[in-house]
A and B are shown apart, each in its own frame.
Chain A
Amino acid sequence: MAIATNNDTQQMAATKPRKKKLPTEVSILAVLIGIALLFEIVGWIVRGDSFLMNPQRLLIMILQMSIIGIIAIGVTQVIITGGIDLSSGSVLALTAMVTASLAQSSDYVRAVYPALTDLPWIIPLAVGLLVGALAGVINGSLIAFAMIPPFIATLGMMVSARGLARAYTDGQPVSMLTQEFTWIGSGANPVIIFLGVAVIFHIALKYTRYGKYTYAIGANPQAARVSGINVRRHLVMVYAIAGLLAGLAGVVASARAGTGQAGMGLMYELDAIAAAVIGGTSLAGGVGRVTGTVIGALILGVMLSGFTFLGVDAYYQDIVKGAIIVAAVIVDQYRQRKRKLT
């Protein structure tokens, strides 16, 4: 088969034996380390304390990005196919509401479904994943079969899912969840789930037919179709997986906060897209990796902790964050271009 995964270093190394090409991740990793060191140095100057020599803080940096990271892994796959998913934050809110309503404790007199309290944790989890996947299937079908551009289809889902999340309980929060369920989001569990999802999809993209098809469709849909890939069916699957992961993020978010609220996950889709793009995923399609996205998410997490550590005035945080996102991508592109020229 003539389809190569664009970033496959092994193949590149095989065709250009003179010098082993560095994967994109190395330059992103350099950016991550650079930003972390910057906070470390400024930290010593401003606070007289180490930013990085604190294992608990290192855990928190990943922990606070876990939910967005789970979404970002799905979004990365969608972007690799040349699409985009704007609906993940809203799908998170919808799943959080539905999941929470099935995870309420019987101690609570105002449960949404008084007859369905104290259910085993697997039920809200399964229903949450199902709701997410369903939203993804709708996205994918609109894109693959109704030929609606991904931006528009998922924009529609973004608005509708948020509306559904609100309508579900007339905007009231769904709280008092069972301990069994909130355990999913407690301690370092979100980190474990995030990294588990990352490993699964890293393998799926790199070593399976699913991954090969995904890259092929993003690189050239016509060629993919001609070479016998069922492009439509595959697109629906990719969006369904993105929806499923947004659903999983909704489950983890509601378990972590002990509540389901229609306002959850606001703008998460943009942070997820930022993590993917910082991590080297190209919006043009065909290029991207889960490892890059994980590092991209970590860059956002380091910035969040760093600003709080330094006590940077709240007004300036977003200005700097936006600048660093763009700078990280510029540095990465510059390095890539240089590599191509030499």
Chain B
Amino acid sequence: MKRLLLGAAIFATCTSSALAANIGASVAWFDDNFLTTMRNAMQAKADEMGHEIQFLDAQGDIGRQLSQVQSLAAQGVDAIIINPVDTAATQMMTKVAVENGIPLVYVNRQPEGNDLEQKDVAFVGSDQKLSGKLQMEELAKQLGGKGNVAIMLGELSSGATHKRTEGVKEVAAKYPDIKIIEEQPADYQRTKAINLMNNWIVGGQEIDAIAANNDEMALGALIAMQQSGIPADSILVGGIDATRDALEAMQRGELDVTVFQDAQGQGGGAVKTAIDMIEGKPVDKTNMVPFQLVTKDNLDDFLN
């Protein structure tokens, strides 16, 4: 009994230890590679600053995410970080946080409404359209301004899919000799991209470049090409995210273009912003973390 009480006392002091803030975070998908890197960066930043952070997986469901935000608010966390499932459906979650007076940071995906005009609501992330533009600009340059481009789309329900594709198309439209000949989804997944690319290859159309909405699909396209005996240098392949696997593929001379989305910068930045808001320091409403184009020329900067 004594030991139990002692344990309870220790537990109580631990949980209420002074100054350590409690942050609750709801992430759109635990299964997404980029979001996982970002989540780990958030955890690392919180650890480094000596605060607690709790992660919840919204599993791509807006309803689930709203419930999670409501329970975080009821639980009385000091700040909430949301990586929204749907950038057009954030108003309700913003309302919950504002009504409870809890600072709120959106990370990676920017709300499309007027959420950021509310008190104590901020955004840390990157402009997704820019990543598509950077990708297509480099592909166009390597194509010499001429060729057939096929776009591999991510999940159609994701805002990033539309923004990235929009960026790709905007740039492609500037080149009269570049034609978008195919546009099909592979849901950001490598296995689905292998199947899609296989079907494109037997379709017999000449494809000069693949613009994939993320690296996993670009890698899938490369695997399909390899298995069909198509040399990696005969079709340009571009991805987005600069994941570890993608950088390794670029080092092997297979992947031609990727765009580095700064998971550390976004995740760490979101935690930093949340802490600043808890401590009452002034913060920027919108914090844009820049994208960076990665080709074999600057690959070494990203590989370490």
Given contact pairs A170-B36, A314-B156, A57 touches B184 in the complex (Cβ within 8 A):
no
Chain B nearest Cβ from A65, distance in angstroms: 9
A64 touches B198 (CB 8 A): yes
B177 cross-chain contacts in A, Cβ below 8 A: none
The residue of chain B having its C-beta at the shortest distance from the C-beta of A54 within the complex is: B202
7 smallest CB-CB distances across A and B, nearest first, come from A263-B31, A171-B36, A308-B199, A64-B195, A57-B202, A314-B185, A60-B198
A166 touches B223 (CB 8 A): no
A 291-315 contacts with B by CB, 8 A: 304-305, 308-309, 311, 314-315
For residue B248, CB closer than 8 A to chain A, the reply is yes
For residue A253, CB closer than 8 A to chain B, the reply is yes
B 180-198 contacts with A by CB, 8 A: 182-185, 189-191, 194-196, 198
B199 touches A261 (CB 8 A): no
B39 touches A171 (CB 8 A): yes
A57-89 contact mask (Cβ, 8 Å, vs B): 1 or 0: 100100110010000000000000000000000
A263 cross-chain contacts in B, Cβ below 8 A: 29, 31-32, 189
A residues lining the B interface (CB < 8 Å):
49, 54, 56-57, 60, 63-64, 67, 110, 166, 170-173, 175-176, 186-187, 253, 256-259, 261-264, 266, 304-305, 308-309, 311, 314-315
For residue B203, CB closer than 8 A to chain A, the reply is yes
Chain B nearest Cβ from A53, distance in angstroms: 11
A166 touches B202 (CB 8 A): no
B189 cross-chain contacts in A, Cβ below 8 A: 263-264, 266
Q: Is the interface of B mostly helix, strand, loop or mixed?
A: helix
Q: List 11 A-B contacts (CB under 8 A).
A: A56-B201, A60-B202, A64-B199, A166-B30, A170-B36, A257-B223, A263-B31, A266-B31, A305-B199, A308-B200, A311-B182
For residue B112, CB closer than 8 A to chain A, the reply is no
A258 cross-chain contacts in B, Cβ below 8 A: 219, 223
* Size band of the interface chain B makes with A: 35 or more
A157 to B219, CA, bound (A): 30
B243 cross-chain contacts in A, Cβ below 8 A: 173
A261 touches B198 (CB 8 A): no
A63 cross-chain contacts in B, Cβ below 8 A: 195, 198
Residue from the set B29, B219, B223 with the largest chain A CB neighbour count within 10 Å: B223
Given contact pairs A166-B31, A262-B31, A314-B156, A56 touches B202 in the complex (Cβ within 8 A):
yes
A256 cross-chain contacts in B, Cβ below 8 A: 191, 194, 223
A264 cross-chain contacts in B, Cβ below 8 A: 189, 191
The residue of chain A having its C-beta at the shortest distance from the C-beta of B228 within the complex is: A56
B245 touches A175 (CB 8 A): yes
B199 touches A57 (CB 8 A): yes
For residue B153, CB closer than 8 A to chain A, the reply is yes
Residue from the set B29, B191, B243, B248 with the largest chain A CB neighbour count within 10 Å: B191
